[in-house]
Amino acid sequence: MQMEKVALSKLSKEERRSFFQSKYDYYHSFNVRMIVVSCLAYLSFFATDCGIFGRFSYETLLSRVIILLPFVLYLVLDRKVKDYRIMVPCTYLMIHMIIWCTDWATYLLPDRQHAISGMIIMNLIFMCAGFAAPFAYSVIAHALLIADIAVANIFIQYENLSMMYMFNIPCVVAVCAMHLMMQGVYLEQFLDKNKLERLVVHDQLTEVHNRNILKGISETGTGKLTIFPNLDVCMMLIDIDYFKKVNDTYGHEAGDKVLIALAGIIKSSLRITDYVIRWGGEEFLVIIPGCTQAQAMQIGEKIREKVESADNGICKTTVSIGVALYQGGDYHETIKNADDAMYKAKEAGRNQVVLFG
């Protein structure tokens, strides 16, 4: 677990992006509700304005209600965009807009002694926003609060400017430190979650997918593949010839090494978008989207040749491969067709690639 606490810097760019997106997705609902509550609370301070003036505060009405415009735009954008790289900056922009509007209203008020009290609320909002944000984003956005104070002072002329800084700078440091610790905690959860998910859909021996992966790419009940719309999809079943003889002659540990070597050859022959699934003891199912039957036969032949010429450290092996085109409906039917083609390859002498049909 100690390694996981410092693992963020060791993750690849794509892995870090996946982590930050996962963090944003997890706290998304809380994040949006926080903005809703913050905007409603800001609007409610119009009642305070009226109390300070002792009448209806016409002077601050526009500075209060104008927040509704970016607020509505934020909600519309939130329904359409889920990328944290866009929505986290938009969230912080909304918070700073509340600050700017507050400064505007404060400038119009005859009594400005409650400015520090308002900053307590703003620091609390920044703290809440950091749950869904990458640490770097929260540091930059929260540090800009100090710049907001400096700019606002040009117009407002705070009587207690030094106290504003003395109060807010420690708050910024404390909140950012808390965000850093929280990010580390969520990273541990993220890594543990990924490990569990990998165990659920991966074969521990060969490190390719297991059958559970099909639940995520097919429609429950119908068996229809759902993630390859408008693409030709080919499937192939690959079976090691005379694998029982390998186990009987060299032992099951040796047989495992043969399986691992075959899985490596199959993966190296395919794209990252293709699926390799350990289907049975020595059988592997391959799903290739965006692939014609002719292309699938070429890929199958490439795998067959690689296996035949490879040194797996145990013994020479060959494979029989059946290829079938998925034409919609239940994917099990296509697997059956590939299985029939594979057995035709075995009946024809093994070490062959056969197309169904």
Catalytic residues: 282
Alpha-carbon span 323 to 335, nearest angstrom: 9
Alpha-carbon span 304 to 291, nearest angstrom: 18
Q: Which two tokens stand for residue 113?
A: 């002694």
Q: Which DSSP letter does residue 7 get?
A: G
Q: Which two tokens stand for residue 257?
A: 């090494």
Cα separations in angstroms, 328 against 44, 219, 223, 273, 346:
57, 12, 9, 19, 27
Alpha-carbon span 288 to 275, nearest angstrom: 7
Max alpha carbon distance in the chain (Å)?
Answer: 98
Of 135, 125, 48, 124, which is closest to residue 94 (Cα–Cα)?
125
Please state the φ and ψ torsions of residue 326, each to the nearest 5 degrees.
-80, 125
Task: Give CA angle at 291 (285, 297), nearest 5°.
Answer: 65
Q: Which two tokens stand for residue 198?
A: 């990998």
3-class SS of residue 319:
strand
Q: For 85-96, b where at least 16 C-beta lie within 10 A, e where not — what string?
A: eebbeebbebbb
Q: Which two tokens stand for residue 14?
A: 């794509």
